[in-house]
Amino acid sequence: MSDTVRCRLCGGRHLSHLLSLNDLPISHYLRKSPQDPDPRFTVGFDCCQDCGLLQIVHAIPAELIYSEADTYTTGFQRPRHLDDLITTAVARQDPGKAIDVGCNDGALMEHLCHAGYTKVVGLEPNSVAAGIARKKGHEVYTGYLTEQEAGRIVAKHGAFDTLFLRHVVEHVPDLEDFFAGVRTLLRDDGLLVIELPDVEESLALGSPAILWEEHVNYFTRALAEHMLRRFGFQVCDRRNYVFGGGSVAFVAQKKAAPVACALKLPDPAETIGLLHRFAEGIERQKAELRGLVSSARSAGYQVLLYGAAPRSCLLVAVCQIADKIDFVVDDRQDIQNRLMPGTSHVVRPLAEVAGAAGDKLLCLLGVGSENEFKVRKRVEDTVKAMTVHVSLFPPRDTLQSIAAARRAITASQK
């Protein structure tokens, strides 16, 4: 228990260590050559005993994560729920002037323009992604949202009617300054559309895939709503989506900011219990996955990891299976022929691997669960091997998938 640091959500001083992940690479930094730096870190996760927020207190410095080497963009994901999210906002307020904070390569900005927003501006710290958005014709500021930065943007454009904030707040170490910037950007009664990872199901499944060195905050739904109330927003609508491992979204209206100390905190007991079961679940999943991969190799199976995005990279590092993988495949051409973080594996297209794979294959599915059925068929049609698949990401239950794969491998030996 430490009383030298404060919870970044409630300000409490009672934080306890939950778990550490050791020897982690920067999971979106795919190297061009083996000579490129591949730094490793130990990342500790603490739990606030006053509110229950899981958080990385001592985060990896932003300049190391979001460096010039950061070429990770998100437009390839093509979330199917963006139109629903925008429609939910438009149902509350006519599309007017909007800003997308954390706009990455401009994918959401394109949807906003098509939805009739009269002006769309972006803010993005990743210079590579911001450059791609500008090439699409969008006006994008490069930097982090602070109250000072928000003031500069408003001085040019005026306050915005709607602010979109998709998968950003989980990255923010200073929530006070960040939300001061949010409030500066929005007009009175303006709408905040915020989307966050839905961590609760992943925590219940004991999946390490929910963790990421970039995500310094892990909000349950109750804590997300408390955060919005604390910074002066009234929740109007809620949405849940299963895409990309699951997310929870809120449409909230800007109101007068309440006094933080006057707000009642959610009861942390249930969340703290969930977090302790989560830490135990990670150890079980690590042991089961390592055991499966080892037994598959002993049975003559080669091992293919399909998907080299950050969740896959972190899971491989946490479960320590890099040396047991034969091939890493990803469909994204921009990361092919690069090295998967923390490993010596070159990311290849599936067609290039097909001829090298043997007649028995264990395929680790490091892709969104909504895309698994497509990937399974693609692997089986291309590789022409007897293939056993394992789902790595929530909301699929990886332990159940491992057990099914183990049974299939055992049956193949008879």
Give CA–CA dist 189/258, Å, rounded: 15
Residue 124: per-residue pLDDT: 93
| pLDDT surpasses 90 at 326 | yes
Structure tokens belonging to residue 162: 């709607």
Res. 367 pLDDT band, cuts 50 70 90: very high
Residue 68: per-residue pLDDT: 53
Render pLDDT for 252-295 as a digit per residue (tens, 0 to 9): 999 987 766 668 889 999 999 999 999 999 999 999 999 999 99
Mean pLDDT of 58-65: 82
Render pLDDT for 84-99 as a digit per residue (tens, 0 to 9): 999 999 999 999 999 9
| pLDDT surpasses 80 at 62 | no
Q: Which helix (H) or strand (E) holds 131?
A: helix 127-135
Give CA–CA dist 214/41, Å, rounded: 12
Give CA–CA dist 292/194, Å, rounded: 39
Render pLDDT for 138-185 as a digit per residue (tens, 0 to 9): 999 999 999 999 999 999 999 999 999 999 999 999 999 999 999 999
Res. 1 pLDDT band, cuts 50 70 90: very low
User: Is pTM, for the whole model, over 0.85?
Assistant: yes
| pLDDT surpasses 80 at 76 | no
Res. 356 pLDDT band, cuts 50 70 90: confident
Mean pLDDT of 53-80: 72
Rg of the chain, C-alpha, whole Å? 22
Cross-strand partners of 305: 328, 364
Listed residue (292, 300, 301, 296) closest to 398, CA to CA: 292
Contact present, 369 and 396 (Cβ < 8 Å): yes
Domain boundaries, the chain: 75-267, 291-412
Res. 2 pLDDT band, cuts 50 70 90: very low
CATH code of domain 291-412: 3.40.50.720
DSSP tag of 18: E
Residue 74: per-residue pLDDT: 58
Burial class (CB in 10 A: 0-12, 13-18, 19+), 355: exposed
Question: Where are the extended beta strands (E) located within 213-307?
Answer: 217-218, 233-241, 247-254, 302-306
| pLDDT surpasses 80 at 413 | yes
Render pLDDT for 114-127 as a digit per residue (tens, 0 to 9): 999 999 999 998 88
Render pLDDT for 184-228 as a digit per residue (tens, 0 to 9): 999 999 999 999 999 999 999 999 999 999 999 999 999 999 999
Render pLDDT for 372-396 as a digit per residue (tens, 0 to 9): 999 999 999 999 899 999 999 999 9
Residue 29: per-residue pLDDT: 85
Domain 75-267 fold: Rossmann fold (3.40.50)
Render pLDDT for 7-46 as a digit per residue (tens, 0 to 9): 999 999 999 999 999 999 998 889 999 999 899 999 999 9
75-267 against 291-412: fold identical: yes
Residue 259: per-residue pLDDT: 65
CB burial readout 160-187, b (16+ within 10 A) else e: bbbbbbbbbbbbbeebebbbbbbbbbbb
Dmax over CA atoms of the chain, in Å, equals: 73
Amino acid (1-letter code) at residue 52: G
Q: Within 13 Å, how many C-alpha atoms sit on residue 283's CB side?
A: 8
DSSP tag of 2: B
